[in-house]
Structure 1
Amino acid sequence: MTVQSGADVRFDKVQKSYDGETLVVKEFTLDIEKGEFLTMLGPSGSGKTTCLMMLAGFEPATSGEIFLNNEPINNVPPHKRGIGMVFQNYALFPHMTVAENLAFPLQVRGMGKAEQEDKIKRALEMVELPGFGSRRPAQLSGGQQQRVAVARALVFEPQLVLMDEPLGALDKQLREQMQYEIKHIHENLGVTVVYVTHDQSEALTMSDRVAVFNDGVIQQLSTPDALYEAPESSFVAQFIGENNKLHGKVEAINGKTCDVRLADGTLLKAEKVNVGAVGTGTTLSLRPERVEFDDAEGMDNVVTGKIKEMIYLGDHIRIRMNVAGNDEFIVKVRNRGQKRDLSVGQSVQVGWATSDCKALDLFT
């Protein structure tokens, strides 16, 4: 099975309202490149699934235009858009065998029986289920059913595949395995994939780019590493991975850095991302794994914290501390197999580099 090139997709100032008053998607503009794996990520109600449903044709746009390969598709019915779709609940026909489920989209397209059999055979091999064609969905595990759903979306070789929370019903280990398998299928076929999830680890693992949604608007559109390393707001920093938030006022601005005074009087140095003038408030963002525990002395920022809780997680120890009046300050310490003389209630120094501490939000 080969797809020569994926489709390109464009949303142009698309808006969506279900009640004629409240916009759930606001002035949405986005270009998705051919062969790209783009994930729409965000909390429930953020607008990501609505955008996917409009692209699929299951929901009409209130205003704006959607383009597929530079052709407007707002008035094209779903079955004529040539888009593969994978749902969270698999949506397999229970009374049909696996082969019959895969044959259905081929029959709709008027494909001959011999060609159907060839495409079904190749699709089952692609998802590593050869020989499963005669089984019914009830005879398959959840992971096998999801593989069949993926195969059905790809069997007619679409240029674009939409996936709506496709791994949400699977257990953690199987979900992680399927993430890699779907990514490898995408890489091998060159099909364009638009993927919706609220699971940030899925988004980071699978995507070429991630669009982070909140309140019907893209908050940031970046590669996975840029989202994590260079968030543009505290919402993105908080939604992508674990993050420490510290609030304070800008005391000085020095080129690309700034000094921020916290409520308890602690003065910290941070990278200036989005701050106002001296005297305005800001939110500092700091990843727990960037906090130094053993070699704090000599770091740009050094503070004393009190250990409130320690949790052993195998590859690291998650330590919750009180730092600068914040009882929820998290430090992740790598497990190097060394015995650590740490205990709850102990006061210790922690430190971090200016470049790892981002001043993200402006407020007065």
Structure 2
Amino acid sequence: MYGELALTTRTSSDTFVEFERVQKSYDGETLVVKDLNLTMPKGEFLTMLGPSGSGKTTCLMMLAGFETATHGEIKLDGRPINNIPPHKRGIGMVFQNYALFPHMTIAENLSFPLEVRKIGKSDREAKIKRALDMVEMGAFGGRRPAQLSGGQQQRVALARALVFEPELVLMDEPLGALDKQLREKMQFEITRLAHELGITVVYVTHDQTEALTMSDRVAVFNDGVIQQLAPPDELYEQPANSFVAQFIGENNTLEGEVQEIRDGIAVVRLDDGGLIDCKPVNVSRPGERTRVSIRPERVEFNKSRLQKGVHTLKAEVMEFIYMGDIFRTRVRVAGNDEFIIKTRNAPDQVRLEPGAQIEIGWLPEDCRALDA
């Protein structure tokens, strides 16, 4: 349902990858992917994001040809590919475990997909050199995978996926085995290469930061369904439902009931009796239960910064943590002991002690009344 609603309207000529009412079941009863409708234009970097078992990797494997759709059709550049074997789809693949041949040199690993495509020796050598130079591994062609670090092996795996100049590259958790610093560097490298070469990328991860920093659009999966498909900033600032709000970034929630909806504002009475104004997203009438969503950086407690006319709530400070560029304050408010406030480290920022009684507030447009 959400997958169909969230799709950006595109002309058919603009579509390069298309899933049309695709379903997948392994046992004939339980659907791992449910009625997926998804289109991608050429040159887009799309990330499939979601928890384990949400269906994202199954979608990638169906696109690659390693899994067969139970129902529906998958098209590449307007051509149905359901019955085309993986090696004839012309798709590059990068996996978390690199999947390099250990008995071959790096140059031989890159040569393999070119030999399969019957490309001549001189052309092969030129393409191998270009691909290795692209990932800054030009001096390592004579080494074997065991002589390289994890990060170097992943660069080689990326070069092998790009060496035959595919229009579509699929990546399944490719940076999961790398340490944080190297992972961040590779995120930048992959994004840069994708945009420079103009290739289309479908990237699977459960790492939300990776998805937000690398993607043109992100498809958030849960229970075999796309919950929301949108650019990263829209996904974070305007989550379509409670699952997306909780899964993407840090998020505060308060439980309550809708009192009235007027002029694009939902008045919500929280379970502790307090009233707040919110943007109605998944609510439509008074009496509905709702889960209110507010991002930690949108909450303010400095009186000088609280705007007039904004509802404020009384809160008790539970914890105040210095984190360098920001302060992270945990408070108890409206029955929630895990309500987080993030404030930048500024000269006028108040430092709080546990037990302090404060008032907190936020703008109504930063507060979203979602499904309960």
Q: How far off is 1:340 after superposition?
A: 3.9
Q: How far off is 1:318 after superposition?
A: 1.1
Q: How far off is 1:336 after superposition?
A: 2.1
Q: In 2, Cα distance between the equivalents of 1:291 and 1:21? A: 45
Q: 1:8 is paired with a residue of what secondary structure?
A: strand
Q: How far off is 1:255 after superposition?
A: 2.2
Report the equivalent of 2:96. Answer: 88
For the pair 1:322 / 2:332, whether they are aligned, the reply is: yes
Question: How does 1:284-303 map onto structure 2 within 5 Å?
Answer: 284-294=292-302, 295-296=305-306, 298=308, 300-303=310-313
Q: How far off is 1:52 after superposition?
A: 0.2
Report the equivalent of 2:11. Answer: none
Report the equivalent of 1:268. Answer: 276
Report the equivalent of 2:363. Answer: 353
Question: How does 1:209-358 map onto structure 2 within 5 Å?
Answer: 209-294=217-302, 295-296=305-306, 298=308, 300-336=310-346, 340-358=350-368
Pick closer, same or farther for the CA change 1:61–1:34 going to 2, 3 Å. Answer: same
Preserved contact between residue 293 and residue 333 of structure 1 (Cα < 8 Å) = no
Q: In 1, Cα distance between the equivalents of 2:153 and 2:349? A: 46
| TM-score under structure 1 length normalisation | 0.96
Q: In 2, Cα distance between the equivalents of 1:31 and 1:351? A: 40
- Seq. identity, %: 67
Question: How does 1:46-61 map onto structure 2 within 5 Å?
Answer: 46-61=54-69
Report the equivalent of 1:180. Answer: 188
Q: How far off is 1:142 after superposition?
A: 1.0
Specify the code of the residue in structure 1 equivalent to 2:35: E
Q: In 2, Cα distance between the equivalents of 1:7 and 1:139? A: 42
What stretches of structure 1 of length at least 5 have no aligned partner? Answer: 1-5
Preserved contact between residue 278 and residue 366 of structure 2 (Cα < 8 Å) = yes
Q: How many residues align?
A: 357
CA distances 1:117-170 after superposition (whole Å, capped 9, x unpaired): 100000011001111101111111111111100000000000100000000001
CA distances 1:241-287 after superposition (whole Å, capped 9, x unpaired): 00001110001111211100011101010011110311111111000
For the pair 1:126 / 2:119, whether they are aligned, the reply is: no
Specify the code of the residue in structure 1 equivalent to 2:366: D
Specify the code of the residue in structure 2 equivalent to 1:321: V
Q: How far off is 1:317 after superposition?
A: 1.3
Report the equivalent of 2:5. Answer: none
For the pair 1:107 / 2:115, whether they are aligned, the reply is: yes
Pick closer, same or farther for the CA change 1:341–1:224 going to 2, 3 Å. Answer: closer
Q: In 1, Cα distance between the equivalents of 2:356 and 2:168? A: 55
Q: Which moved further from structure 2: 296-305 or 234-243?
A: 296-305
Q: How far off is 1:95 after superposition?
A: 1.1
Q: In 2, Cα distance between the equivalents of 1:73 and 1:350? A: 55
Q: In 1, Cα distance between the equivalents of 2:311 and 2:118? A: 67
Specify the code of the residue in structure 2 equivalent to 1:18: Y
CA distances 1:22-75 after superposition (whole Å, capped 9, x unpaired): 000000110011111000000000000000000000001001010011010000
Q: Which moved further from structure 2: 281-290 or 303-312?
A: 303-312
For the pair 1:12 / 2:20, whether they are aligned, the reply is: yes
TM-align CA RMSD: 1.3
Q: 2:100 is paired with a residue of what secondary structure?
A: coil
Q: 2:316 is paired with a residue of what secondary structure?
A: strand
Q: In 1, Cα distance between the equivalents of 2:323 and 2:348? A: 14
Pick closer, same or farther for the CA change 1:126–1:337 going to 2, 3 Å. Answer: farther
Preserved contact between residue 321 and residue 327 of structure 1 (Cα < 8 Å) = yes
Specify the code of the residue in structure 2 equivalent to 1:277: R
Q: Which moved further from structure 2: 123-132 or 77-86?
A: 123-132
Moved over 3 A (4+): 337-341
Preserved contact between residue 7 and residue 192 of structure 1 (Cα < 8 Å) = no
